[in-house]
Chain A
Amino acid sequence: MAEIMVKQKIVVIGNGMVGHHFLEQLANRPERELFDVLVFCAEPRPAYDRVHLSEYFGGRTAEDLAMGKVEQYRNWGYDLRLNDSAVRVDRENKIVTSASGASEAYDHLVLATGSYPFVPPIPGHEHDKCFVYRTIEDLDKIQAAAEDGKVGVVVGGGLLGLEAANALKQLGLEAHVVEFAPGLMSVQLDEGGSKLLREKIEALGVTVHTSTATELIKEMDDGRLRMRFRGDKSLDTDLIVFSAGIRPEDSLAKSAGIELGERGGIVVDNHCRTSDKHIFAIGECALFNNFIFGLVAPGYTMARTAVSLLCGEAAEFNGADMSTKLKLLGVEVGSIGDAHGRAEGSAAITFVDEQTGVYKRMITDSAGKKLRGAVLVGDTGDYDTLLQYHLNDMDLPEHPEQLILPALDGAAPALGADALPDTATICSCHNVSKGDIVGAVQGGCCSVDEVKDCTKAATGCGGCSALLKNVVDTELAALGVEVNNDLCPHFPYTRQEIFHMVQVEQIKTFDELLHKHGSGKGCEICKPTAASIFASLWNEHIHKKPHVGLQDTNDTFMANMQKNGTYSVVPRIAGGEITPEKLIVLGQVAKKYDLYTKITGGQRIDLFGARLEELPEIWRELTDAGFETGHAYGKSLRTVKSCVGSTWCRFGVQDSVGMALAVENRYKGLRSPHKIKMAVSGCTRECAEAQSKDIGVIATENGWNLYVCGNGGMRPRHADLFATDLDDVTLIKYIDRVLMFYVRTADKLQRTSVWLENLEGGLDYLREVVIEDKLGICEELERQMGNVVGTYQCEWKTAINDPEMLKRFRQFVNTDEKDEKIVFVEERKQRRPATQEEIVKIAEPA
């Protein structure tokens, strides 16, 4: 008889980010099998990313913000109860009762109830135009109220308050921040940092009122609200969002008789256990050492501690560093350790650049040897290095001020990975130490990507990716592994370096490039790469004499070779718009040459089965009817998919077809490191699936939202929202810059998605380059794109009028016979290549 194992039951109350992390960590352990797991979630959806909540108004959907998915929980074997909150804990019988009346026994209870927003008891705060900022439902309500409004006020000038102000601004409201204290973010920033942050935020159009106490909120006759401040001042507004701090959600624990702190919070020990040893509390509801940790990273550490203990391993939570780095309304802010220098014997070093709006302050001990804290506003480039000095209690260099002074040669004095102890945390999202990374490299990982896969480092917020690369490269070098980024054996350079050489030295042919910078005779890697670079920069016809031998299979005959050596033909149908007359021509050509006809995913028509020698005739007929090449064969712009937009659709808010045509006609013919696909949707319903494209454009009431670097295919990636509410001119300008920057810097055959993931600094860096022109190259990028656009030619139209180019389009150079070995059979009333078995059968006499 098989022994039946009795599983223990874990009930988790709360499914926020920390609760989700607990469940995710548990799911990945072999001990997972020992437990039945049930989760109560008061909200209608599983955990989502509250840290990036304001992006909900920047175009990200609830789906985008989701961390836990219902299906994933099912796969993990968890019993997830959405929309059902736990209302009572019977500790004696170890039973949890829910609002829906469910009664569930537990062996272990995990309280991950989080926190709720504190609303100051100002008379009038219960008005229905007063909101809090915590859940997606809160945001939906704020959005609805903002529709007819002009002004929005946030009460609270802390980290979350400024996030909320950003949200109001994105809703198109005139945003105000009202703060009781004399400065913004007073917990994290000193006076100097706070002052600069205020200047920067006000420059962005947010009005800041500090040292301002609200005494009364009154509804006026027109339905708007008037806030009366102490000192007889007032402010009229359409809505108010309270973001004046959080309070631990401890009511359930309180009613169950679990010990709470004096000012709330469920008291836990260094095992995250409450006064009842069967009950854990993790995240913002837990009070450790009389402190609530209102950041996600310490909450994650608590979650991991609880999981380890449940699995029978030793683990402790001993508090956490509250250092933080973030971007508020686009302003970089960083705070490390004792930012105010409150400890005795502190000394400070301050750097202020009023010109560029940068404030940096280091707090050291009196000897200037150890870093106790730091404040960074306007530029957080030094944050990672400073944090490592602080967390690892490392001795500061002889001239510590160099850590925050701008380096004269342009390069910041990065902290050598050698200097870090093995215990140094590199990735705080996934708690990966330098020792873990070194271990992964010694265990056989040979690249940053492999280390990422193996350790999960830099796969959370990605803020540590530069440091990770540094550690990996240092360790590889120490092991004597040479990091080889050479294009191929013939060129000891990366694609980016070759692009630069070709551009600067105005190299026009492969022979010249090989002679100057390469060796040997070239191969199928460097030849097409060079051909693509020449085309991106000089845009000569790809079949011009010096280039003809460089092209890859499909470019060689400007058609897509299929498995039997015949070709498919794809004329451009920009935006998917086609006249009946042209559609008839396609049908006539397909019929005449007996071409298998299929609609593509990119709203075009693909004609299969053309013999090599038929291609010029087919294209003569197509170009006569006004068709142009569709570049389906090239590493270049393929299609711009569109929905029908405001012209026809009753939901459309912009002319998406018109924009798709403009975009497709602008970038057609642009050769790039890999193929590029785009789409334009006429409203947020997103029928053109723009978020799965390299460049995605989605119409808004006010213009266009631009998404970048998505793709479908083997490893799908949602495009990232890059910029919002752009006018037509700015939209094109940004696409020009993003594309040309990609063309310049990507590796060979690297799609935009992988390019972005490998771009140091990621999306923020791309924005800095493209929107803020950090590198000062935007004008040049636009000029280069202008050159490509200005020198466009339909490659097929040119080719069919050039006897020299047509020379290659002969099946045999010595006869007009056809290739008898190409055999077709009929299926569903069209031709298709015969299989090998069918060919054998046909050859045998019956």
Chain B
Amino acid sequence: MSFKKIAGGMAFAMLTVCMMPNAHAELTIAYITNGNTNEGWTLINGGAKEAGKKAGVKFIELAAEKGELSKQLAIVEDMITRKVDAIAIAPVDSAGISPSVKRALAAGIPVVAIDTNITGVKITSYVATDNIKAANVQGNWASGQVKDGDKVIYVTGDQGQSTGQERKKGFIDALKAKHPHIKVLEVATTWDQTQAQNGVEAVLRANSDVKLIACAWDGGALGAVAAMKGAGIKPGQIKLAGFDGSPGGLDMMKEGWQQANAAQMLAKIGAVGVETAIAAAKKQKVEARIDTGAFLVLPSNVDKFAKDSGVAQFMKMK
């Protein structure tokens, strides 16, 4: 290769470097997901990406392949090496990710947890739905639908997990605040739709006077609908309150089975997570716990909510 060519190549390379817009002033944010590719996570990740684009930062999105914790650990380590300015992460495992998160914090990189908290280390911020408050929204709506002394079914989530415990507590506390003598018949599940269906079937058989069913998640509501169909109950005859604002949940509402849904603001969880990480990277003060809130979806606003939240793209009935 001649000297001219080498010199020309170098000049071209320098020109390219100069033309890069503010390569040094730009912040780099690593968004590390848990590798989940379901509808909910597609919305969260979409919100995160959008927020990164809007802020004009360099946005690196990496995922733990197959939800494998050791791969997520390696990604966090690699992002410390990559000297990113902040990390926003949806941990595969609350405890297991903490050794690498400790190192990131020690290297001066702020870490924001998204949707799932990180235990064993004090992180910069945790952005997620406050389950108790969201379930309060669900319980308040339910208390307006029934009278004191009525029978209500509550389909729980896993009671060995904080999410399941908080949703149940939030719902029952809000309901009992208005109606102290209401009878709550519990159907215990471990986030399993079939358990929900079987449980609701059994309770309905023994109690024909149930007025309302509330569920800790929309999959449970799907199970409840199946049980009601089996028992020959018509849509709306027993009121049903879902939780999540999932595509399946909103479809149930459009079919007339569900009358209310405490929806999580999924895209907002991702967006606020990344915005918080950016703020922390700019050395701004951020809250240690950020609640992205819940929205009470009703038949009157379901179409607007589905469209605004992005859930509509996954629904059967648009």
Say whether A and B bind each other. Answer: no
